[in-house]
Structure 1
């Protein structure tokens, strides 16, 4: 099972044209297992807790590359700190002002509703690649 999961991350990285280095695989694995939308520093701590050691610069470079390739999402929290999400499928981000947390809300019906709405409203030359919805509470 463990090797099968690693292979999934390896394939994801290769499918966007990147070399699947051990560092990239470990960053994607740990980020994918987190639901807290960590900052790079939070991710570095989580990587360290699991025995992966790399510099913060390496982590930032990997996160930036993954974001550019569409493997992850970049979000800013309520304090303008960059946070990251490995779930790139449609979902709503709910930002909590009290604890600066970001949580996910999944509603496939909302995705269909919004996609249909925009299909009829956007100019013809605009192709909808991805939708993001954020709620601030």
Structure 2
């Protein structure tokens, strides 16, 4: 947990036990969890953890650039510890969101402006049916 503490301190965030637990959870669960998913998991270990603490911690992490918010499905916000430019794939069947690597001149920093507008953030996602769901579907059809 020392590296997690160092990450928080490097961003000027006081490393409270709750914050350490949330950041550790995000590092171990790269499935782009919702705040609710994070709360349900951590509350099993720390029954005194409140949803408010989870939301406040996530908002602080967003503000400090420790995580990114991923909104693909309208209003549902997922959280991503990978803060480097990358794209996401959303499975419309199971709801899983995964990081994908796609060659993109914007993400690589090759293009920093469009029509005189400076690019600060890029959000790209793909929707479809994931490999696992397609394989399950193929087994059912056989």
Aligned equivalent of 2:29, options 16, 29, 34: 34
Partner of 1:3: none
Contact 1:92–1:104 (8 Å) recurs in 2: yes
Provide the C-alpha distance between the structure 1 equivalents of 2:60 and 2:76, rounded to a whole number of angstroms: 18
Aligned equivalent of 1:118, options 111, 131, 140: 111
Question: Does residue 54 of structure 2 align to residue 63 of structure 1?
Answer: no
TM-score by length of 1: 0.79
Provide the C-alpha distance between the structure 2 equivalents of 1:121 and 1:76, rounded to a whole number of angstroms: 23
Question: Does residue 125 of structure 2 align to residue 131 of structure 1?
Answer: no
Aligned residue pair count: 126
Provide the C-alpha distance between the structure 1 equivalents of 2:109 and 2:51, rounded to a whole number of angstroms: 42
Partner of 2:17: 22
In structure 2, relative to structure 1, the CA distance for the partners of 1:46 and 1:132 (3 Å cut) is same
**1:81-120 matched pairs, under 5 angstroms:** 81-107=76-102, 110-111=103-104, 113-114=105-106, 115-119=108-112
Mind listing any 5+ residue stretches in structure 1 that lack a counterpart? 1-5
Aligned-partner SS, 2:19: helix
Which one has a bigger Cα radius of gyration?
Answer: 2
Q: Which has the higher helix share?
A: 1
Mind listing any 5+ residue stretches in structure 2 that lack a counterpart? 129-142
TM-score by length of 2: 0.76
- Root-mean-square deviation over aligned CA pairs: 2.1
Partner of 1:52: 46
Provide the C-alpha distance between the structure 2 equivalents of 1:12 and 1:59, rounded to a whole number of angstroms: 18
